Amino acid sequence: MAMTGVLRPGHIQLKVLDMAESVDFYSRVLGLIETGRDAQGRVYFKTWEERDHHSVILRQAESAGIDFFAFKVDSDATLAKLEKDLQAYGVATRRIEAGDLLETGERVRFTLPTGHDIELYAHKTAVGNDMGELNPEAWCASAEKGIAPIRLDHALLYGPDIEKAQAILQDVLGFYLVEHIQLEDGQTDLAIWLSCSTKAHDIAFVRHPEPGKLHHVSFLLETWEQVLRAADLMSMNRVSIDIGPTRHGVTRGTTIYAFDPNGNRFETFCGGNYAYPDQKPTKWTMDEVGAAVFYHDRKLNDRFLTVVT
């Protein structure tokens, strides 16, 4: 059981400009496994370790970016309760019928004050992985294809009113604040990292004037050596690298950021601190914001702050 009923990030739908090029990138370079295509032309992927049918969905569009980010909950009863709790809190919701996404049950969608559509769902077909669930090996052949992350880990979203989004996620869905970067006024946050588990974060936000923007979607690797291998594969495939390999001060994770062919930023991430809801949040101040984001360089680059989709 989850600590709050919200289990984990479940899927993200990304907008891409060229589906064929994107499918090649996400399967061959990133190393995700294609699991299906639907009547709308969307393409579905999972990592080699994930057991549910998909965690990444690509939709061809005229601009890059994010359509929605979803969390799996532990039961139909939890889904119904959280739907009512959101409505009681003043958040409009709508039900999306089962089957709208392949192998996925009913979803509850709502929009945060940051302009991002968030979904909750309880059911998705478990397709397993190549290792099986009985006496499995340590890894399988598909783990050698491309960068080969083990799971969809989190997303960093840019938009206004991040404190209002934080309130909804905390007060209604049971998330808690793990770390934050505070502006010079000593009251307002520039960025917040929230968890629904014991991970360093499951979702994060940065204050930004434009609503509904994606900074990055993150995929988890198991070791620092795999982060370095990811950088090698990015160079071999002429992937546009934003920054890294390096380390964050926030979360302590090791990381490399790069862009898919559409300009959507993605992260390959390893490690990170454990978090628990009874712990006091870690605060970073603006005089140390460089170290908070890029611990080695201790300074930010303009592209990391300004390029979003």
Confirm whether 154 is a catalytic residue: yes
In this structure, what DSSP letter does residue 228 have?
H
92-99's contacts with Cβ under 8 Å and 24+ in sequence apart are 98/123
- Would you call 215 a catalytic residue per the annotation? no
- Structure tokens of 309? 């989709």
Which segments of 11-161 does DSSP mark as H helices, in order?
A: 19-24, 76-88
Cis peptide leading into 245, omega within 30 of 0?
yes
Which residues have CB under 8 Å from 98's CB, separation 6+? 104, 105, 106, 123
56: closest CA among 105, 14, 7? 14
Task: Judge whether 216 counts as a catalytic residue.
Answer: yes
Query: What whole-number distance in Å separates Cα of residue 189 and Cα of residue 286?
Result: 10
Assess contact for 82 and 108: CB atoms under 8 A: yes
- DSSP bridge pairs for 152: 219
Is 208 one of the annotated active-site residues of the chain? no
Choice among 116, 154, 180, 215 that is catalytic: 154
| Set 201, 225, 288, 296: catalytic member | 201
User: Helix, strand, or coil here: 233?
Assistant: helix
For 12, 84, 165, the CA distances from 91, given in Å and listed in that order, are: 21, 9, 11
**Catalytic, out of 53, 54, 208, 248:** 248
The label of the residue with tokens 């990015």 reads 234
Selected catalytic residue, list 83, 103, 106, 267? 267
- Asked whether 241 and 265 are in contact (CB, 8 A), the reply is no
Letter for the amino acid at 120? L
Confirm whether 54 is a catalytic residue: no
Return the closest-CA partner of residue 308 out of 116, 112, 156.
Answer: 156
Is 257 among the residues known to form the active site? yes
Q: Give the residue numbers annotated as catalytic, written as ranges.
A: 154, 201, 216, 248, 257, 267
